[in-house]
Amino acid sequence: SNTNAWRNILSKSKPPLIILLMMLVFIGLAGCSDSTTDTDVGNGDGDDNGGTQQAPDEVWMEGRAFNPGNLEVEVGTTVTWENKSSEVHTVTSGSNRTYDELFDSGNLSPGDTFTYTFDEVGQFDYFCRPHSGMTATVTVIDNG
């Protein structure tokens, strides 16, 4: 049987082969673990849209751009940004690359999300700290 064949190979092999096989098994198992982190603040509604279709209150970071670049929402809306690129990005409020201290996601790795609830009417510019041309706007309108 195959089991006896492996026993014969392993019993006749030198210790380095056994150690090598054990290391390969360990590396294979380690690769199966989930070690990702997520900075999702969340709004508690449990709606992540499965990650396949963009919701009206979502902005995706794709390449070095925010999509959409200009989002219009009603006051009280929680906007979710998701990093769908292969680079680290930030969602930092302000214009002319000057942080206005309203919101800042910190570094978002690929796959991470950040949420912010807009409780005031107005135009809110934001940018990505590492990428100078990456800017966008959220326009908040009164829902009355």
The string of DSSP letters for 25-57 reads HHHHHHTTS----------SS---GGGTS--TT
Domain assignment of residue 90, yes or no? yes
Structure confidence at residue 63 (pLDDT): 95
Domain assignment of residue 54, yes or no? yes
| Residue 31: band (very low, low, confident or very high) from pLDDT cuts 50, 70, 90 | very low
Domain assignment of residue 44, yes or no? no
Question: Quick one: 86 and 58 in the same domain?
Answer: yes
Question: Quick one: 14 and 66 in the same domain?
Answer: no
- What is the token pair recorded at 73? 């929402």
Q: How many domains does the chain have?
A: 2
- What is the token pair recorded at 24? 């390969």
Mean pLDDT to the nearest integer, 18-47: 44
Question: Quick one: 84 and 125 in the same domain?
Answer: yes
Domain at 79, CATH number? 2.60.40.420
Question: Quick one: 58 and 119 in the same domain?
Answer: yes
Domain assignment of residue 43, yes or no? no
- What is the token pair recorded at 118? 């807009």
User: Which CA distances in Å does 137 have to 14, 27, 59, 68?
Assistant: 65, 45, 10, 9
Residue 62's contacts (CB-CB under 8 Å, 6 or more residues apart) are 84, 85
| Residue 53: band (very low, low, confident or very high) from pLDDT cuts 50, 70, 90 | confident
Question: Quick one: 85 and 23 in the same domain?
Answer: no
Distance separating the N- and C-terminal Cα atoms of the chain: 77
Question: Quick one: 56 and 118 in the same domain?
Answer: yes
Mean pLDDT taken over the chain: 80
Question: Quick one: 13 and 65 in the same domain?
Answer: no
- What is the token pair recorded at 47? 């709606």
pLDDT digits (tens, 9 = 90+) for 59-90: 999 999 999 999 999 999 999 999 999 999 99
Would the pLDDT of 43 be above 50? no
The DSSP symbol for 77 reads: P
Structural domain for 101, as ranges: 49-141
pLDDT digits (tens, 9 = 90+) for 101-144: 999 999 999 999 999 999 999 999 999 999 999 999 999 999 87
The Cα–Cα gap between 138 and 26 comes to 48
Question: Quick one: 60 and 102 in the same domain?
Answer: yes
Question: Quick one: 25 and 62 in the same domain?
Answer: no
Among the listed residues 132, 140, 95, 96, the one whose alpha carbon sits nearest the alpha carbon of residue 116:
140
